[in-house]
Structure 1
Amino acid sequence: MLLSPLLQQKVRFFLSEEKVMDEMSNSDFSKTTSFQHAVSSCCGAIVTSLFVTPLDVVKTRLQAQSSPSPKGKCLVYSNGQVHHTHVCENGDGKVFYNRNRHFKGMLDAFVKIIQIEGIKSLWSGLSPTLIMALPTSVIYFTCYEKLREALRFRLGEDNDHIPIVASSLSRFVSVTAVSPVELIKTRMQYHTLSYKQLQLSIRSTVARDGWLFLWRGWSSTVLRDVPFSGAASGSIAAVVTLPFDVVKTHRQTEIWESETLQSKLQRDSASTWAVMRKIVAKKGIAGLFAGFTPRLFKVTPSCAIMISTYEYGKAFFRHLNEKTNQHS
């Protein structure tokens, strides 16, 4: 399929992350401060979040939804907090799913979410997303600069692997730091919850399973995000790492589902690979690529928005600094 000129321009504009960050070492970097770079990157993350959160919500719903047609007898269950859910017995226990909420694809999910929950639900989890933007950008930016300088001191200025190594390690640190907020965001996108309901759910789970619960899905999140810091194409990385994103969503939503519906599902701490095997056994290989369309649609505009806002912020501060210097 031929790409439109506009899409071709976006694809060309979609630079790898280490190249963008490496531009900070050129002459422009001396005209702006580290704080101004951090502010620019935070603004880029915030603007990006506002635009792509609906796609992220749809992706999460597609990844976490259950099978649409279990066999056996069904009855309707409601706990007063979520929409009516059909509880079906299939011989192996009880399977919980919502018949009216099964999405056939990205557009179907958009339509049903708006019809059933209202358009505001497309921005579920926006608050934790915005909260994540500041520490993620600052931690990543700071670590990247420090690691790059340290590696250049040890390996030499011309080593081509320095940006990739520094970017990957920085992403690892930032993902670890904000993993609890990522969990909260995923849960809010999975079901529309009040902050009180979310707080009670997380508090009870932490009391039972300990504080490490807040880092549930950390390993699959690392496997999802770190390749973005070393890949030549974010679109390729989005496809390759999608199974890890699916696993992350499953691990961060399965406990909430079992608590909300009062089921007797086991709360195990299966590894990423074990969860992958379960998904394949239940849904086939296609289950590992659930949410493919919204994730792919999210990658290109999010990168374009992020880089555009970041570059605009640098230009703004550079111009501001030049005017300040002229008047001093």
Structure 2
Amino acid sequence: MATNASPKFRDPDFHPEYHHPDLNKIPHDGLHFWQFMIAGSIAGIVEHTAMFPIDTLKTQMQARSCSSPSVNLRQALRSVLTHEGPTGLYRGIAAMSLGAGPAHAVYFSVYELCKKFFSSRNPNSHNPVVHAVSGVFATIASDAVFTPMDVVKQRLQLRNSPYKGVVDCVKRVLREEGFRAFYASYKTTVLMNAPYTAVHFATYEATKRALTEVSRESANEELVIVHATAGAAAGALAAAVTTPLDVVKTQLQCQGVCGCDRYSSSSTWDVIRTIVRKDGYGGLIRGWIPRMLFHAPAAAICWSTYEASKNFFQKLNTSKMHS
């Protein structure tokens, strides 16, 4: 979930001048800070809701204990539909909604602020280093918000989950494992999302520029297609590269539940060594197909929705200026 958020393809040296006094309080792209947050929140909820069934299958594949046989995507889908029905694909979606909205609001707003700061107040410059660094800061902040609800979501997604719902899961985890259980995977999550963001940004920028060069004259008309295609390529590649860390994150979040292994340490390297010893190196790439199937369209959906929300607020601000 990371790309250049500029709403139009434009010359990097083109900076429109605004002379309305209220715009002194408005950051780049003509949006208020709170509008970035709302746009990001909408994008996050739409993205995760649309792709939630795939995320459920990924979680069940990755959380298998050493005593459970490995399953492929088709077997995981058949298992869920057979034992729980179609609704089983959406267990934990309430926890996702509670976490994804605020987390994406934080992600996009921090990203926009950092991009403006690190680019010397020229947020529309095409500097991949600035984009990557801004994305890393945004990731650290948003993961701190999302990780607790991600723990709840993944435990509810497990087959034969012992929890009745979000509230029951939160209460039981607090009572049985303590507050630290909600952040047992935080370091691994940040360690995973930092390179994910860097790969995502680099791939997105390169793909977007290549697509824009193909048809520069109609770049504005093809904006949605370009964002979707570049986002899908970036999401798929970044997801594939960071799958081993995602497996570690899932196992840390689901440890001790439904037969999943429990670890004495939350150290990423300790978990990796345990997985390799019991399942071989193949255990580190469990769920890589559904992870790619999730992140490719998810990135396209997320950024298309984010841009659409931003455009709505831009038109709203413009209409207020001229009213």
**Same fold, judged at TM 0.5 (above):** yes
Residue 4 of structure 2 aligns to a residue in which SS? helix
Amino acid at match of 1:194: K
The C-alpha deviation readout for 1:235-278, integer Å capped at 9, x for no partner, is 222111100000111111113346xx9xxx76511411111111
1:205 to 151, 176, 180: 176
Where 2:71 maps in the other structure, the secondary structure is coil
**TM-score, scaled to structure 1:** 0.73
Overall identity of the aligned pairs, in %: 27
Instruction: Determine if contact 2:118/2:130 at 8 Å carries over to the other structure.
Output: yes
1:17 aligns with 2:2: yes
Out of 295, 311, 314, the position equivalent to 2:310 is 314
**Alignment partner, residue 186 of structure 2:** 218
Q: 2:77 aligns with which of 107, 110, 124?
A: 110
Task: Check whether the contact 1:57–1:122 (CA below 8 A) recurs between aligned residues.
Answer: yes
Letter of the 2:182 counterpart: L
Aligned length: 272
Q: Whole-Å Cα distance in 2 between the matches of residues 194 and 62 of structure 1? A: 21
TM-score, normalised to structure 2, is 0.74
**1:61: Cα distance to partner?**
0.4
**Equivalent residue of 1:66, what SS?**
coil
Q: CA RMSD in A?
A: 3.0
SS of the equivalent of 1:19 reads: coil
Within 5 Å, give how 1:25-64 maps onto structure 2.
Answer: 29-64=28-63
SS at 1:17 equivalent: coil
Measured in 2, the distance between the counterparts of 1:267 and 1:158 equals: 43
Structure 1 distance, partners of 2:72, 2:63, is 13
State the AA in 2 paired with 1:202: V
- 2:196 match: 228
Larger Rg: 1
Unaligned runs of 5+ residues in structure 1 are 1-15, 68-94
Give the AA of the match of 2:4.
K
Q: Equivalents in 2 of 1:306, 1:154: separation in Å?
A: 25
TM-superposed deviation, 1:322: 3.3
**Alpha-carbon distance in 2 for matches of 1:281, 1:171:** 31
Give the gaps of 5 or more residues in structure 2.
17-26, 204-233
Distance 1:274 1:187 in 2: 21
Deviations 1:143-196 (A, max 9, x none): 223333333449998865222112112211211232211111111112443126
User: 8 Å contact 2:147–2:186 — kept in the other structure?
Assistant: yes
